[in-house]
Structure formats: structure tokens, C-alpha cells
């Protein structure tokens, strides 16, 4: 039995025991001290059982609630830096959960796991019950993870009379099934747990219409239901040449790996980067930001094609597809550029940048490093970016790649949403409900396997940087984003594809759900006066 399996087994046992004991203690304490405190309208606790800085959708929720005047408590673990806007909002408070004691790292897993679970449960309950002074009107929880958060939020909601909002990103049991198999007893227990504690809530939000239809049909969800598609924040955009220049001035010192030496064009900071250059008199000296005194930075004609993929390095993203496509492109570029092909154009060198962290990263990047020692037209690097640089990299790239296949085939990849927000066309791996987001030939291309992906790269990048097919796809994406018009899927079915910023979408879907009661009360009080 693996450690992950052992952990899941212990989780169920410990969580049940903890609930039984803590329920009576907390109810007793709360009855005498806190239950009679009035609920505070326009307040919300948003809980993420993970790194807050790596949970963009929940950070965007928190920002939207705070801007609406809600006292907002964003609860989760400290890690990556949150988006900068969260630190300046007067109504928003970050409540970090405490980490397990460090000495547990030295304790055998079988002994440490129950203690870690107990610590986690206690930390969440303490934060929701005591660190938030007045009962919040709403508690929003991200799902997954389902265990133990759904049960804890269910308990606190009843004790503090808060309304629960579940934001369904995926199905927790389906992720566990990737590791253990759908018929495993732990997967069946996890599914039961998720269905029991997730069935009833004040409101259910879904990332896709397919997920809403599935859960309403299969689990008979109780409460208001609404689809809130992911959308990028308003500051995501396609970068100008000066912005690309500034970004790679900052990133330049980190691009020193042996595989990139002599592969990227030579830079001469501050006058040029690997992707941009400033045309100027050789005798003139400037500071890098004083573009008004000289020509503006321009994209270099000898730059490589910049491809970007963001991954969590988990089993629901098959990195072998990308690895095989890179091999095929290397072989094809060698043939084309030696004149051994009917392709009249040339294929550029490409630099595939992969952002993100996860358990499979070391394995796959070791494979990449070994292969690219022999490659001439392909390089692949893993970068970890600060939150403010991530949209700038997307806005500077030429093409986005998405390998997301979904453990439940009911969610959509937020990375594609981010890419569209930056005006970046996408090649995306096909799966059941992808057509809710990617319209083949309109805002991106859909592929089934590595050979098809490599063929799309060849078609789009021929004659780069003056690549007509890539320019046509980018222009089509920008037109679709501007018009928000109805688009047609490749199979001929007509679907409405509404676009906009996160704020537009949130105000249309969530705002009416959370203001109904408070506006009714305020209207009543106003009429009484």
C-alpha cells in the first residue's frame, strides 16, 4: 500500500473521530459564548485547503467580494505570493492556516499522518469559529479537496448559521480514482463523502455547464445553481514590445541553463534581450526605461518562437504527449530546413517554457534534459514566475499549449482562460467539454495526439516570425474576444460563447446570489424609516 493510500485510509478514520469529539465540545462552548451573536451581513469566509497564491479563482472571488464591500476573510496556507491587489483592499484579510509542527517530518509516516490530519482539522475549525469575530453571512469553499473541508464547512455553517457556497472546480473522488482506480473502496467512500456533504448548500457554482448538469442529475443538488466560467482579470493583455523588453530584462539572469547557451539570440542589456532590441546610435547611452529618448523596443527578427504551457505536473495532464510532439518537431524542422521537404518555408527554433510546480516535474524534466542535448531546433525549460510576471509571459508568447484532460471530463483548464485573456491562441488536448471554451479554428486548435500537435506547430510556425497561419489564428481570437459573438464549433453545432473579464462575469452571475437577502433587508429598513 502506498503512502498516499495509507494517508487516505487514515484520513477517514481520524476525521470521523475528530468530528464526533469536537462537535459536542464546540457546540457547548459556542452555545454559551458565541451562538447568540448576530450574523454580520456582507461578510464572507473563503476557504482554500491549499496554497492561497496558487488558487487564482478563489483569489479573484475574494477580490470581487471585497470590492463589493464585503468583509472578506481568505483562508488557506501560506506559500506563493498572492496577487498584489489583495494586499491593498481594505475589506480583505488573509488568514493563513498554521502548518503542522516541523518535528513531524522526522516521525515515521504512519505515526505522523494522524497527527497532521488532526492538526489540519483543528486549524480549520479554529479559524472559522474563533479568528473570524462575528458569524459570516457566507462561507465559500473550493471543491476539491473534499476531505475534510466539505464536512468541516457543513458543521461550521450549522453552528454559526452561515450560508454555504460550494465552488465546484472538479470532483475530488475522480482525482483519487486516477491513483487507485474507480473501483477501489477508498474511491467509493470518497464519492459517498463528497455527495453527502456537498449535496446541500445555499448556492452551488460550477466551472462548466457540463459539471452542473452532471451533478444536478446524479446527486440531486439542493440550493441555487449557477455556472461561473473562469475568466481572466482585467489586467491580462497581449504585451507591447516595451513590456516584452522589460520582462526579459528581469528574466534574463535566470536564463543561464547550459541548454539555452548559444541557443537563444545574444542579448546586450539594456539595449537588447533575447526577444527584443532597441535601434539606436552606438555612441548613445541610456537607462533602460527612458524609451522616450530613443526608439521604442522592437521584437527581434532572429528570435525563437516562444511556446508556453502551464501545468501542475499531475496525472491528469499527459506530459508524454508534449514530449513526443517536441521530438517530432525537432525531426521535422531538421528535414524542412535542409530542403528535404515539400514545405516551401522554414521552421523556426522553438523554446517551450513550462510554468508550474508538481510531483512529476523532476521525472519529466530529467527526460527533457537528456533528449535536448541532441536537439538543434527545440529547447524546453521549466520556470517558476511571480504572480505579476505570469500574465506578462503569456502576453509575450507566440502560442499556448494545454495538456489538461480532466479527471472527471467535466471541468475546464483555467490556463487556457488566462492565455485567451492575454490574446494568446492555444493548441489544446481534446476532451468531453472542451468545446465550452476552445472553438477549433476560431480561438485555437484542438489535437488528439502528439503527431497532430506537432503538425499544428509546423502549420502555424512556418516562415516565423512572419507566419501567416499564426497571424490569422491570433487575429481570429482577438476578433472573437472583442465581439463576444456566437461562434460555431467545428462539428457544426451552434453555441453561444460569451466572453468578458472576470469582473463582468462575476457581477452577472454571483452578485445577484449574494446580495438578494441583504438588499431585501436594507429595503425593508429603508421603508420602515
* Positive or negative torsion for Cα 274, 279, 281, 287: negative
How far is residue 270's CA from residue 307's CA, in Å, rounded to a whole number?
24
Contact 361, 331 (CB under 8 A): no
* Mean pLDDT within 407-426: 90
Q: How far is CA 107 from CA 45, 83, 97, 348, 484, in A?
A: 34, 35, 22, 52, 56
Find out whether the peptide bond into 270 is cis, omega within 30 degrees of 0.
Answer: yes
Distance CA 80, CA 205 (A): 25
Please tell me the pTM assigned to this model.
0.81
Bigger pLDDT: 480 or 259? Answer: 259
Verify that 360 and 317 share a domain, yes or no. Answer: yes
pLDDT at 10: 46
Same domain, 204 and 261: no
The pLDDT assigned to 370 comes to 92
In terms of domains, do 198 and 269 share one? no
Half-sphere exposure of 310 (CA within 13 A, CB side): 17
With respect to residue 460, please indicate whether it lies within any of the assigned structural domains: yes
Same domain, 218 and 300: no
| Whole-number pLDDT of residue 111 | 78
Predicted confidence at residue 394, as pLDDT, reads 97
114 with 201, same domain: the answer is yes
Flag whether 523 is in a domain. no
- Into how many domains does the chain fold? 2
Report the CATH number that the domain containing residue 279 is assigned in CATH: 3.40.50.2000
Same domain, 150 and 291: no
Judgement on whether residues 429 and 481 belong to the same structural domain of the protein: yes
Residue 342, domain extent: 241-500
Q: Is there a domain that residue 401 lies in? A: yes
489 pLDDT more than 90: no
165 vs 313, residue with greater confidence? 165
Model confidence pLDDT, tens digit, residues 125-183: 999 999 998 999 999 999 999 989 999 999 999 999 999 999 999 999 998 888 888 89
Residue 323 has pLDDT above 60, yes or no: yes
Q: Within this chain, do residues 337 and 420 fall inside the same structural domain, yes or no?
A: yes
Q: For the residues 504-511, what does the mean pLDDT come to? A: 94
Residue 514 maps to a domain? no
Q: How many CB atoms lie within 10 A of CB 342?
A: 5
Claim to verify: residue 222 and residue 259 sit in the same structural domain? no
184 and 264 belong to one structural domain:
no
Mean pLDDT, rounded, for 350-368: 89
Co-location of 219 and 338 in the same domain: no
Verify that 397 and 477 share a domain, yes or no. yes
At residue 216, the pLDDT reads 96
What are the angstrom distances between the C-alpha of 99 and each of 3, 16, 51, 105, 124? 20, 21, 11, 12, 11
**Mean pLDDT, range 27-50, rounded to an integer:** 72
Amino acid at each position: 500500500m502506498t503512502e498516499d493510500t495509507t494517508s487516505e485510509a487514515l484520513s477517514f478514520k481520524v476525521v470521523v473521530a475528530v468530528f464526533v469529539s469536537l462537535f459536542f465540545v464546540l457546540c457547548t462552548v459556542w452555545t454559551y459564548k458565541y451562538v447568540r451573536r448576530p450574523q454580520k451581513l456582507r461578510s464572507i469566509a473563503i476557504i482554500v485547503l491549499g496554497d492561497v497564491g496558487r488558487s487564482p479563482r478563489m483569489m479573484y472571488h475574494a477580490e470581487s467580494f471585497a470590492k463589493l464591500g464585503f468583509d472578506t476573510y481568505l483562508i488557506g496556507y501560506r506559500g506563493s505570493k498572492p496577487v498584489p491587489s489583495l494586499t491593498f483592499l481594505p475589506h480583505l484579510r488573509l488568514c493563513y492556516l498554521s502548518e503542522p509542527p516541523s518535528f513531524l517530518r522526522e516521525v515515521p509516516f504512519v505515526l505522523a499522518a494522524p497527527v497532521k490530519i488532526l492538526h489540519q482539522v483543528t486549524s480549520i475549525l479554529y479559524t472559522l469559529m474563533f479568528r473570524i469575530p462575528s458569524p459570516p453571512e457566507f462561507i465559500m469553499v473550493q471543491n476539491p479537496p473534499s476531505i475534510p473541508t466539505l464536512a468541516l464547512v457543513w458543521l461550521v455553517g450549522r453552528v454559526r448559521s452561515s450560508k454555504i457556497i460550494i465552488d465546484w472546480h472538479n470532483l475530488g473522488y475522480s482525482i483519487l480514482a486516477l491513483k487507485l482506480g474507480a473501483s477501489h473502496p477508498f474511491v467509493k467512500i470518497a464519492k459517498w463523502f463528497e455527495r453527502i456533504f456537498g449535496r446541500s448548500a445555499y448556492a452551488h457554482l460550477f466551472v462548466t455547464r457540463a459539471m452542473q448538469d452532471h451533478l444536478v442529475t446524479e446527486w440531486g443538488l439542493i440550493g441555487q445553481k449557477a455556472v461561473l466560467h473562469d475568466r481572466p482579470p482585467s489586467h491580462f493583455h497581449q504585451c507591447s514590445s516595451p513590456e516584452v523588453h522589460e520582462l526579459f530584462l528581469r528574466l534574463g539572469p535566470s536564463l543561464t541553463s547550459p541548454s539555452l547557451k548559444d541557443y537563444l539570440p545574444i542579448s546586450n542589456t539594456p539595449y537588447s534581450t533575447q526577444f527584443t532590441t532597441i535601434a539606436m546610435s552606438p555612441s548613445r547611452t541610456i537607462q533602460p526605461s527612458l524609451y522616450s529618448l530613443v526608439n521604442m523596443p522592437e521584437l527581434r527578427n532572429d528570435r525563437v518562437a516562444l511556446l508556453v504551457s502551464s501545468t501542475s505536473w499531475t496525472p491528469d495532464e499527459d506530459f508524454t504527449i508534449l514530449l513526443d510532439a517536441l521530438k517530432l518537431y525537432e525531426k521535422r524542422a531538421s528535414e524542412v530546413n535542409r530542403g528535404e521537404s515539400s514545405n516551401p518555408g522554414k521552421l523556426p527554433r522553438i523554446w517551450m517554457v513550462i510554468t508550474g510546480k508538481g510531483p512529476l516535474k523532476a521525472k519529466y524534466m530529467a527526460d527533457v534534459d537528456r533528449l535536448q542535448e541532441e536537439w538543434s531546433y527545440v529547447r524546453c525549460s521549466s520556470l517558476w514566475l511571480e504572480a505579476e510576471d505570469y500574465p506578462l509571459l503569456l502576453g509575450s508568447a507566440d502560442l499556448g499549449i494545454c495538456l489538461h484532460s480532466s479527471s472527471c471530463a467535466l471541468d475546464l483548464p483555467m490556463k487556457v482562460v488566462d492565455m485567451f485573456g492575454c490574446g494568446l491562441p492555444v493548441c489544446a488536448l481534446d476532451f468531453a467539454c472542451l468545446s465550452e471554451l476552445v472553438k477549433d479554428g476560431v480561438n485555437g486548435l484542438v489535437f488528439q495526439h502528439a503527431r497532430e500537435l506537432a503538425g499544428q506547430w509546423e502549420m502555424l510556425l512556418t516562415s516565423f516570425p512572419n507566419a501567416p497561419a499564426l497571424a490569422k489564428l491570433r487575429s481570429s481570437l482577438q476578433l472573437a474576444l472583442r465581439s463576444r459573438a456566437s461562434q460555431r464549433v467545428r462539428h457544426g453545432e451552434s453555441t453561444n460563447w460569451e466572453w468578458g473579464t472576470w469582473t463582468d462575469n462575476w457581477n452577472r452571475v454571483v452578485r445577484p446570489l449574494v446580495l438578494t437577502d441583504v438588499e431585501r433587508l436594507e429595503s425593508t429598513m429603508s421603508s420602515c424609516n
